[in-house]
Amino acid sequence: MNNIKDILILLALVCIIVWLAVEGYTVYAAIAGTLLVVAGVIYLIAFIMGRNKK
């Protein structure tokens, strides 16, 4: 159930980034996109490491 909430938050962030890009704030959209990718990678690594501990 927790994963659904995470996916919804992720979709909301992606929508905000797309909106920024459409409005012409490409620099902010690029920074936000980069941060989102970094956060996603960290989340995946933490998820994989958490599974390996069991």
Domain boundaries, given as residue ranges, for the chain = 2-53
pTM beyond 0.85, yes or no? no
How far is Cα 6 from Cα 26, in angstroms, rounded to an integer?
A: 25
Q: How far are the Cα atoms of 2, 14, 21, 35 from residue 31, in angstroms, in the given order?
A: 27, 12, 11, 6
- Token pair for residue 54? 């069991």
pLDDT tens series, the chain, 54 aa: 567 887 888 888 888 888 888 888 888 888 888 888 898 888 888 888 888 776
